[in-house]
Chain A
Amino acid sequence: MVHAQQISKVFRTRRSAVRALNVVTLDVQAGEFVVIRGPSGSGKTTLLFVLGGMLRPTSGKVVVHGRELYALSRRERADFRARHVGFVFQMFHLVPYLTVEDNVLLAAPPGEAPALRTRAAELLSLLGLAPRVQHRPAELSAGERQRTAIARAMLNRPDLILADEPTGNLDPRSAAEVIAGLAAFHRQAGTVILVTHGTVADQYASRVIHLDEGMIAHGPIDLNAE
């Protein structure tokens, strides 16, 4: 599903250069639930954005669903992302002026929103948000906002969901609900790559990868270390 080969990413400023990823190679098979864990500044989010086609690596190659992402044009990459990849962010990034239902339908490709209305309702129901369909983000709890974001990520039946610290701003109960939502997607043969500090997702993880200073740490991983 995802093949990242020798990915490096260097952020340059006028005065310095920061190497966020240092020759990272990663393979994720279809249907896997992979947790990427590491300290702040270890390059987790950068890796996720590179895998999602949102951030061109300084060097290396990323192949997702058989397509080499950075060989595509910007437009083609955007289309690919819309069809095959769902994103969930720590800050939710819901559009404040749209209802929960409209926020989910925002992911629909142009012209397909009416056809996906039923699916949006099913997803919101699955994630326990049926009573909140017509509410706006400001009227939701943090957990409800993140579940809305998960429903949005799942709308187009993507092959892959990339989740960046989705439980970072949630209390333990909400965090568990959010991870359960991602697990529901995984059960339907979806692939999940989740970046997190916590251990709440470990029970669902096929693998846990530890990232440190832009490199994948090899060796035994202690799932309870953090």
Chain B
Amino acid sequence: MNTPYLIFSEIRHRKLNVLLSLLGMVAAVTLFVFFFTAGEASRRETTRIMRDLGLNLRIIPAHTAMDKFWATGFSEATMPEDCVHRLAAHTGLNYSHLLPLLRRQVAWRDREVILVGILPEIAPVDQRQPSMSFKIDPGSIYLGHELARDLGLKTGDAVDLLGREFTVAKCLPENGSHQDISVFGHLHDVQGLVGMPGRINEIQALNCLCFDTKRDALDVLREQLASVLPEAKVIQIRSIAEARENQRRMIEDYLAVILPCALVVCAAWIGLLAMVNVRERRQEIGLLRALGRGSGRIAALFLGKAVVVGILGAAIGFGLGTGLALIYGPGVFHVTGQTIKPMYGLLGWSAVIAPAFAALSAFLPTMVAVAQDPAVILREE
């Protein structure tokens, strides 16, 4: 009478015990799969929220007069455009999404406007990521909301800007900042208009969330910048940085608390049912002992059953967890929910982890079964 035959015969006989164990296993795998599948959407959502918060670092020339900088919103000093390429060429820095720009205040059509020249975003060599900023083609400009409205300009209009003709490629939505009175153009166009070829006065960037948490993030950024661009300094927009950090921590704490708690509860449930099963099968254990079966064979009966429950639980739990993520994910993650897809790799992981998890949960009851004294059991009436 081989062990698998006994395991499957017992499973068919004690359906309720198996169903209840399976319930615990399915719950554990469902949670695991749901959190990972939805967690992927959560990660994307976090990224999107962070991106929407904007770049939070401003790298400006080191000798910038800060009183004027805060009064006007930009640095009077400039630095070579090459600075951005030097920064991007370094690996291991906590700067990403490098956006070089030249910002100047100019008079245009009887008003003061902020003229901003930007290049397409430059990614450091070890941090290739989708761009967070818009890109402007040479010969085109974007107009701030207030400016476009006051001047009656719309997309496609040809305008003269400081003696050169440009096409309005886009009128930006209302932003509530001085972006609303800004004109955005290609960096090289703007450099030509203000007579500062090859110069920039700011590099905007995003700090990556990979700091040594024991050190202040800004200290690390300043240290890194000093070694690469000693002619520049960095300012961190704290509110944005803290919002990003809080968003990241919230998601991590959420997963770090709920998932282990749920898994412990499921493990306890499966272990409890395995213990009930051992109690129910005391006489069978005693009999097998009397028939000369060793501890390994007895343990294999209980651990084997746990593994079967684990495999079934993995298959059902994967389907259920994925289904729940697909159904309820979009309601939780409004921005990225629609992009939630089944993660079939999790099925493989579940098929490996779930049986191991079930066997681990049933380990103590199995040891209790193995330790049963047949002489005591078989004398019970």
Q: Chain A: residues with CB nearer than 8 A to chain B?
A: 45, 49, 52, 54-55, 74-75, 78-83, 87, 89-91, 93, 95-98, 102, 105-111, 113, 164
* Interface members, chain B 288-303 (any A CB < 8 Å): 288-294, 297
**If A54-B375, A107-B291 touch, does A93 touch B1 (CB 8 Å cutoff)?**
no
**If A55-B375, A78-B294, A89-B378 touch, does A97 touch B14 (CB 8 Å cutoff)?**
yes
B110 lies within 8 A of chain A by Cβ:
no
Whole-angstrom distance from the CB of B22 to the nearest CB of chain A?
17
Instruction: Choose one: A74, A79, A91, A113; the contact of B1 (CB below 8 Å).
Output: A113
**If A45-B379, A49-B375, A90-B381 touch, does A54 touch B9 (CB 8 Å cutoff)?**
no
Whole-angstrom distance from the CB of B291 to the nearest CB of chain A?
5
| Binary contact readout B197-236 vs A (1 if CB under 8 angstroms, 0 otherwise) | 0000000000000000000000000000000000000000
Q: Report 15 cross-chain contacts, Cβ distance below 8 Å, ordered by A residue.
A: A45-B379, A54-B375, A75-B294, A78-B294, A81-B290, A81-B291, A87-B378, A89-B378, A91-B380, A93-B378, A95-B287, A96-B13, A97-B10, A97-B14, A102-B1
For A75, list chain B residues within 8 Å (CB).
294
For A74, list chain B residues within 8 Å (CB).
294
Alpha-carbon distance between A105 and B133 when the two chains are bound, in angstroms: 75
| Binary contact readout B270-309 vs A (1 if CB under 8 angstroms, 0 otherwise) | 0000000000000110111111111001000000000000
Alpha-carbon distance between A90 and B288 when the two chains are bound, in angstroms: 16
**If A54-B374, A54-B375, A78-B294 touch, does A91 touch B289 (CB 8 Å cutoff)?**
no
Whole-angstrom distance from the CB of A64 to the nearest CB of chain B?
13
In the complex formed, the residue of A with least CB distance to B381 is A91
In the complex formed, the residue of B with least CB distance to A93 is B287
B12 lies within 8 A of chain A by Cβ:
yes
Say whether A93 contacts B294, CB under 8 Å: no
B177 lies within 8 A of chain A by Cβ:
no
B129 lies within 8 A of chain A by Cβ:
no
Say whether B9 contacts A102, CB under 8 Å: yes
**If A78-B292, A97-B9, A108-B1 touch, does A91 touch B375 (CB 8 Å cutoff)?**
no
For A80, list chain B residues within 8 Å (CB).
292
B2 lies within 8 A of chain A by Cβ:
yes
Alpha-carbon distance between A108 and B297 when the two chains are bound, in angstroms: 14
Say whether A106 contacts B286, CB under 8 Å: no
Majority secondary structure of chain A interface residues (helix, strand, loop or mixed):
loop
Alpha-carbon distance between A83 and B292 when the two chains are bound, in angstroms: 8
For B291, list chain A residues within 8 Å (CB).
81-82, 87, 106-107
Q: Which of B286, B288, B375, B381 has the most CB of A within 10 A?
A: B375
Alpha-carbon distance between A207 and B292 when the two chains are bound, in angstroms: 28
For A81, list chain B residues within 8 Å (CB).
290-292
In the complex formed, the residue of A with least CB distance to B293 is A78
In the complex formed, the residue of A with least CB distance to B288 is A106
| Binary contact readout B368-381 vs A (1 if CB under 8 angstroms, 0 otherwise) | 00000011001111
Q: Which of A83, A95, A106 has the most CB of B within 10 A?
A: A95
In the complex formed, the residue of A with least CB distance to B284 is A95
Q: How many residues of chain B get a CB closer than 8 Å to chain A's CBs?
A: 26
In the complex formed, the residue of B with least CB distance to A79 is B292
**If A96-B13, A97-B10 touch, does A49 touch B287 (CB 8 Å cutoff)?**
no
For A55, list chain B residues within 8 Å (CB).
375
**If A54-B374, A54-B375, A102-B9 touch, does A78 touch B289 (CB 8 Å cutoff)?**
yes
| Binary contact readout B349-381 vs A (1 if CB under 8 angstroms, 0 otherwise) | 000000000000000000000000011001111
Say whether B294 contacts A105, CB under 8 Å: no
Whole-angstrom distance from the CB of B247 to the nearest CB of chain A?
54
In the complex formed, the residue of B with least CB distance to A89 is B378
Say whether A82 contacts B13, CB under 8 Å: no
Alpha-carbon distance between A108 and B292 when the two chains are bound, in angstroms: 10
In the complex formed, the residue of B with least CB distance to A106 is B1
Whole-angstrom distance from the CB of B202 to the nearest CB of chain A?
77
Whole-angstrom distance from the CB of A109 to the nearest CB of chain B?
8
Whole-angstrom distance from the CB of B286 to the nearest CB of chain A?
7
- Besides A49-B375, A110-B2, 10 more A-B contacts (Cβ < 8 Å) are A54-B289, A54-B290, A54-B375, A82-B292, A83-B292, A91-B283, A93-B284, A98-B1, A105-B1, A111-B2
| Binary contact readout B12-42 vs A (1 if CB under 8 angstroms, 0 otherwise) | 1110000000000000000000000000000
For B375, list chain A residues within 8 Å (CB).
49, 54-55
Say whether B379 contacts A49, CB under 8 Å: yes
For B374, list chain A residues within 8 Å (CB).
54
Alpha-carbon distance between A91 and B287 when the two chains are bound, in angstroms: 11
In the complex formed, the residue of B with least CB distance to A49 is B375
For B378, list chain A residues within 8 Å (CB).
49, 54, 87, 89, 91, 93, 164
For B287, list chain A residues within 8 Å (CB).
93, 95, 106
Whole-angstrom distance from the CB of B371 to the nearest CB of chain A?
12
Alpha-carbon distance between A36 and B375 when the two chains are bound, in angstroms: 18
In the complex formed, the residue of B with least CB distance to A55 is B375
Alpha-carbon distance between A90 and B233 when the two chains are bound, in angstroms: 90
Alpha-carbon distance between A108 and B294 when the two chains are bound, in angstroms: 14
* Interface members, chain B 309-345 (any A CB < 8 Å): none
Say whether B289 contacts A93, CB under 8 Å: no
Whole-angstrom distance from the CB of B134 to the nearest CB of chain A?
70
Whole-angstrom distance from the CB of A69 to the nearest CB of chain B?
13
